[in-house]
Amino acid sequence: MKKILLMMLIAFAPLFAQVSESIEVPYIAYEIKMGKGFEEVNANCLMCHSFGYMTNQGPQSRQFWKEKVDKMRNSFKAPISEKDSKTIVDYFSKHYGNGK
């Protein structure tokens, strides 16, 4: 009898373990450098993910940033114009570049 009571206690315990307040997914605001091209980045790169995806790459070459923007457009179908892409690559190689 004790065993059954214990098992019932274990089985139903989760029912009473609910939290009363609602759970919120944290919003992480990543810092991003201001400068020429920021507007294009802001308008074109945040539809699918946060700035963290870009800034967490660390300093990278112009080639790297160009490949990333191309990947976003070609593989992920980001609707970014040719003109904006160039401005965005300039922006990243200036502010998040490694001089290469």
C-alpha torsion sign, points 74, 58, 63, 94: positive
CA dist 94 and 91 (Å) reads: 5
Nearer to ligand HEC, 54 or 95 (CB): 54
Tell me: does residue 32 bind ligand HEC (CB under 6 A).
Answer: no
- CB of residue 1 to ligand HEC, shortest distance in Å: 53
CA dist 54 and 96 (Å) reads: 9
CA dist 41 and 64 (Å) reads: 16
Give me the 35-74 binding string for ligand HEC, x by CB under 6 A, dash otherwise. Answer: ---------xx-xxx---xx--x----------xx-xx--
- Amino acid in position 80: I
CA dist 65 and 43 (Å) reads: 17
Nearer to ligand HEC, 38 or 53 (CB): 53
- CB of residue 27 to ligand HEC, shortest distance in Å: 18
- CB of residue 68 to ligand HEC, shortest distance in Å: 5
